[in-house]
């Protein structure tokens, strides 16, 4: 299936993602409540989750990896497997595993219910249940976990809430509500549980560990009378957007406002010029009227001057006549006064 040798688990096809990779690393590592014991995986497919579990195998421990690898099973389980894992072979799993580890785990090619025949009871510190997703099979797998887990051990259930796996949900919740299975934490795909009485040390240790992993955080949920951690993937910080931000838009607005003010000022200026032009025209008209009036005035003055000159001439002539006629001094004085 994988044509080239995988260099990391990310090169192996499967359904095992970052939040669960990190949560597995915590429960398999030294900070877990129980850090010694055997490891078990039911349902390996091509080895994506198995190679990570194998990273934590210590001296004296056994990792048992079980899968049907295409072997026979009941009708419903066969339909399930034919739909999703048709091309799976044990050889492909082994090749992938050996690309990343020196030795293979103990491989069991059988139904998941057979696991209890291969692993000592009460010896397991971590178990991953990811084989059949049908209710009847998961119920059996939960009982196997109860048998195999050591005190402080943790069991992870895949697809406990997926749309296409209601059988897993039914079996897991049934065991939680009435079967002594206690949830420690959930991710979007898996539920992590223990059969220990006290969940607190498991939950506290995970809560401390999660912030150490990139892009993960926790939320505390409360249900069925207890607190359960939810491990959530936080958004990656978004790269600076090329779309203009608020400051850019404000700057642009400011610029436009300035242009608008300048345009307004321009049009006000034009308006003022128009008004001034109109006033100038009016002044021109007034001036020409004034000139006409002046002309008339000049004409009138000229006329009056001419009249006055004429009158003076007449007076002079009259005086001469009076002098020549011998009028009295009183008449002469009157004539002079005029």
**Rule CB under 6 A: which residues touch ligand SAM?**
14-16, 43-45, 48-49, 66-68, 73, 77, 81, 85, 88, 111-112, 130-132, 137
Q: Closer CB to ligand SAM, residue 44 or residue 196?
A: 44
Answer whether 158's CB lies under 8 Å from 128's CB.
yes
- H or E element, residue 324: helix 246-325
282/22 Cα distance (integer angstroms): 90
Backbone angles phi, psi at 97, to 5 degrees: -65, -45
Q: Closer CB to ligand SAM, residue 53 or residue 216?
A: 53
Q: Closer CB to ligand SAM, residue 33 or residue 42?
A: 42
Q: How far is CA 50 from CA 12, 112, 260, in A?
A: 11, 15, 68
Largest CA distance in the chain: 180
Q: Closer CB to ligand SAM, residue 99 or residue 205?
A: 99
Strand 38-42 relative to strand 182-186, pairing: unpaired
334/95 Cα distance (integer angstroms): 155
- Of 261, 193, 186, the closest CA to residue 220 belongs to 186
58/29 Cα distance (integer angstroms): 10
Q: How far is the CB of 15 from ligand SAM (least distance, A)?
A: 5
Q: Closer CB to ligand SAM, residue 70 or residue 201?
A: 70
Q: How far is the CB of 6 from ligand SAM (least distance, A)?
A: 12
Question: Helix or strand or coil: residue 93?
Answer: helix
Q: Closer CB to ligand SAM, residue 23 or residue 49?
A: 49
Q: How far is the CB of 247 from ligand SAM (least distance, A)?
A: 47
Q: How far is the CB of 171 from ligand SAM (least distance, A)?
A: 13
Answer whether 142's CB lies under 8 Å from 90's CB.
no
Q: How far is the CB of 7 from ligand SAM (least distance, A)?
A: 17
Q: Can you give the length of the chain in residues?
A: 338
Which of left, alpha, beta for 14 (phi over 0: left; psi -120 to 50: alpha)?
A: left
Work out the number of other CB atoms within 10 angstroms of the CB of residue 15: 14
Q: How far is the CB of 248 from ligand SAM (least distance, A)?
A: 46
End-to-end CA distance of the chain: 143
Q: How far is the CB of 46 from ligand SAM (least distance, A)?
A: 6
Q: How far is the CB of 111 from ligand SAM (least distance, A)?
A: 4
Q: Closer CB to ligand SAM, residue 79 or residue 283?
A: 79
CA 228 and chain centroid, separation: 27
Work out the number of other CB atoms within 10 angstroms of the CB of residue 190: 26
Q: Closer CB to ligand SAM, residue 15 or residue 18?
A: 15
Q: Closer CB to ligand SAM, residue 43 or residue 196?
A: 43
Q: How far is the CB of 41 from ligand SAM (least distance, A)?
A: 6
Select the residue whose beta carbon is closest to ligand SAM and give its number.
Answer: 14
């Amino acid at each position: 299936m994988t044509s080239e040798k995988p260099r990391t688990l990310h090169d192996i096809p499967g359904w095992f993602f970052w939040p669960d990779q990190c949560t597995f690393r915590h429960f398999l590592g030294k900070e877990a409540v129980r850090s010694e014991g055997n490891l078990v995986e039911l349902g390996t497919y091509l080895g994506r989750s198995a190679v990570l579990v194998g990273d934590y195998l210590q001296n004296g421990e056994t990792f048992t990896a079980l899968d049907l690898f295409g072997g026979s099973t009941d009708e419903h389980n066969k339909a399930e497997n034919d739909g999703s894992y048709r091309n799976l072979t044990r050889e492909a799993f082994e090749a992938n595993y050996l690309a990343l580890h020196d030795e293979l785990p103990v491989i069991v090619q059988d139904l998941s219910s057979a696991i209890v025949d291969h692993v000592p009871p009460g010896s397991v510190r971590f178990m991953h249940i990811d084989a059949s997703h049908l209710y009847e099979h998961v119920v059996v797998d939960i009982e196997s976990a109860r048998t195999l887990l050591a005190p402080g051990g943790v069991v992870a259930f895949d697809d406990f809430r997926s749309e296409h796996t209601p059988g897993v949900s039914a079996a897991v919740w049934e065991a939680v509500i009435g079967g002594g299975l206690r949830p420690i934490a959930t991710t979007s795909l898996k539920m992590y549980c223990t059969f220990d009485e006290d969940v607190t040390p498991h939950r506290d240790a995970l809560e401390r560990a999660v912030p150490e992993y990139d892009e993960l955080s926790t939320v505390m949920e409360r249900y069925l009378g207890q607190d359960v951690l939810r491990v959530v993937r936080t958004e990656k910080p978004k790269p600076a957007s090329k779309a203009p931000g608020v400051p850019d838009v404000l700057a642009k607005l400011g610029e436009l406002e300035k242009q608008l003010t300048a345009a307004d000022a321009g049009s006000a200026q034009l308006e003022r010029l128009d008004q001034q032009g109109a006033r100038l025209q009016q002044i021109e008209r007034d001036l020409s009227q004034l000139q006409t009036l002046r002309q008339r005035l000049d004409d009138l003055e000229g006329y009056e001057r001419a009249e006055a000159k004429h009158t003076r001439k007449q007076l002079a002539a009259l005086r001469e006549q009076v002098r020549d006629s011998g009028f009295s001094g009183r008449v002469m004085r009157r004539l002079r006064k005029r």
